[in-house]
Amino acid sequence: MTPVLPHSPGDFFGASVVELGQRLRNGQLTSVALTHAALESIERLNPVINAFVHVNAEGALAQAVLADAALAAGQDAGPLHGIPVSIKDNIDTFDMPTTYGSAHFAEHQPLEDALCVRRLRDAGAVILGKTLTHEFAYGPTGDRSLQGASKNPWDTTRMTGGSSAGSAAAVASGMVPLALGTDTGGSIRIPTGLCGAVGFKPGFDVVPMQGIFPLSKTLDHVGPIANSAEDAALVFAAISAPSGLNPLGSQPFNAQPFKSEHAPRVAWIDVHAFGAADPVVTQTIYRFAETFFKQPLERLQGFDRVMPGLRKAMAAIQRAEAYEVHNERVADNPQLFDPEVLERLQMSAEVRGWEYIHAMKARDALMAHMAAVFEEVDLLLMPTLPLTAPALEQREVKLGGEAVSVREAVLSLTSAWNLTGLPAINIPAGQVNGLPVGLQVVAAKGRDVQLLDQLRELERQAWRHPPGDARLRGE
């Protein structure tokens, strides 16, 4: 049974971009109709969820008119042609304000698009609006921003997670079918895990970060948020290849199902090596993974030996690099920061040079360790988060009988894959007490396309008919 939001969802709730693209090309839909559907969904839901901080309705409709005219003239830019997409507010757009979620940039208007946005436009996407980010993307809760807090579509008293808070909430609630987010310690996978969407963090340096405000320059990634791995692959194909060229081969909206000669070798990582976890959440995700991958899960051992060094290295690198970006603002205008973000930046100033160098060496050792692991397996599986969405403003939670900070809990299972730069994705794995939980799938370095291909095939084997709005399906 398909889970149902507690309020009437947007028109793109669970919708398939592949299917929408087919209907655009056979004349049953237009880009203008899709854009109107998105704008109407945003008008109805955004006052409740606060996912969007700026909507360019006039500009989006103008883009949609051009997209329809191009298709009518036989000019097809690819599978994203005419599809509405939202952009996280730390990613520059020339035609909309980009505030980075901060009073420091409340009136900021970039002169040009980030390179990933330019590639989406080249691929025919309709760039619709900007979605809320935790201030400067420096927080995993999504409730510290110039524009307030995004709220979880499944329970608006709970947080979305962050920092790609608005992008995840916009897709999960059905306001748009696709969004871009960024991920430094889990900022795509955390909110998609808590809100029930697919969120893909590509490998490090696979998608260019040009035009995206940095948080931690050696940990930052940009990637797609969608309703399926198949749709995420469409966005990844556009933003990872110059001029929208598609590295996945034939256009996925008209592709035959991917077939692999062998089922992927998968292994399950015990979350307790990473920290405390809700056993019901973990068991729910484990059962989903066994069903989804159609095989028993080998349990991978040994992470308890590397985790202490991993946490220390991650903290030192992120803090040092974040403070390098913000030190002048901290010194000159501290009052413009959210107090919680300011406190974290002031703590970041304490990282010493030798600690940063030691952390980078530890990072190299961990990357070598992971390369050895992937000689034995193809994919690593684990929960994306060890809990369901905490309440808005909540800063401590009990897991396994111990009090844990919310920040520590939500980052505990995701940040390792930023430190190692490996491709990792969240896919919805059911619900616990009416709130989404997610399965995280991690692949070896350079295996981004293979990871998406394998999940696309597994989705096709298990997928139900998308529950998107009947008007968009022509019913």
Domains in the chain, please, with CATH?
Answer: 17-304+356-473 (3.90.1300.10)
For residue 250, the model assigns a pLDDT of: 35
For residue 257, the model assigns a pLDDT of: 41
The pair of structure tokens assigned to 93 is 């757009």
260 part of the active site: no
150 part of the active site: no
Note whether 60 and 2 are within 8 A (CB): no
For residue 301, the model assigns a pLDDT of: 82
88 part of the active site: yes
CA atoms within 13 A on the CB side of 286: 17
Note whether 42 and 54 are within 8 A (CB): no
Burial class from Cβ neighbours inside 10 Å (0-12, 13-18, 19+) for residue 427 reads buried
Q: Per DSSP, which regions of 213-327 are E strands?
A: 221-226, 266-269, 298-300
Main-chain dihedrals φ then ψ at residue 243, nearest 5 degrees: 60, 30
Q: How far apart are CA 189 and CA 80, in angstroms?
A: 22
Angle between helical axes of 448-462 and 279-293 (0-180°, round to 10): 90
The pTM score is 0.94
For residue 73, the model assigns a pLDDT of: 97
Annotated catalytic residue within 145, 173, 187, 228: 187
Annotated catalytic residue within 88, 130, 151, 201: 88
CA atoms within 13 A on the CB side of 161: 35
For residue 254, the model assigns a pLDDT of: 37
**Per-residue buried b or exposed e for 144-175, using 16+ beta carbons within 10 Å of the residue's own CB:** bbbbebbbbbbbbebbbbbbbbbbbbbbbbbb
For residue 303, the model assigns a pLDDT of: 83
- 173 to 13, 151, 222, 298, 382: CA distances (angstroms): 6, 10, 21, 35, 25
For residue 2, the model assigns a pLDDT of: 55
| Backbone φ/ψ region at 187: left (φ over 0), alpha (ψ -120 to 50), beta | alpha
Annotated catalytic residue within 163, 173, 240, 415: 163
**Per-residue buried b or exposed e for 229-239, using 16+ beta carbons within 10 Å of the residue's own CB:** bbbbbbbbbbb
- Reading the chain (475 residues) residue by residue, the pLDDT tens digits are 456 676 789 999 999 999 999 999 999 999 999 999 999 999 999 999 999 999 999 999 999 999 999 999 999 999 999 999 999 999 999 999 999 999 999 999 999 999 999 999 999 999 999 999 999 999 999 999 999 999 999 999 999 999 999 999 999 999 999 999 999 999 999 999 999 999 999 999 999 999 999 999 999 999 999 999 999 999 999 999 764 444 444 333 333 344 455 788 999 998 988 999 999 999 999 999 999 999 989 898 888 888 888 889 999 999 999 999 999 999 999 999 999 999 999 999 999 999 999 999 999 999 999 999 999 999 999 999 999 999 999 999 999 888 999 999 999 999 999 999 999 999 999 999 999 999 999 999 999 999 999 999 999 888 644 444 444 433 4
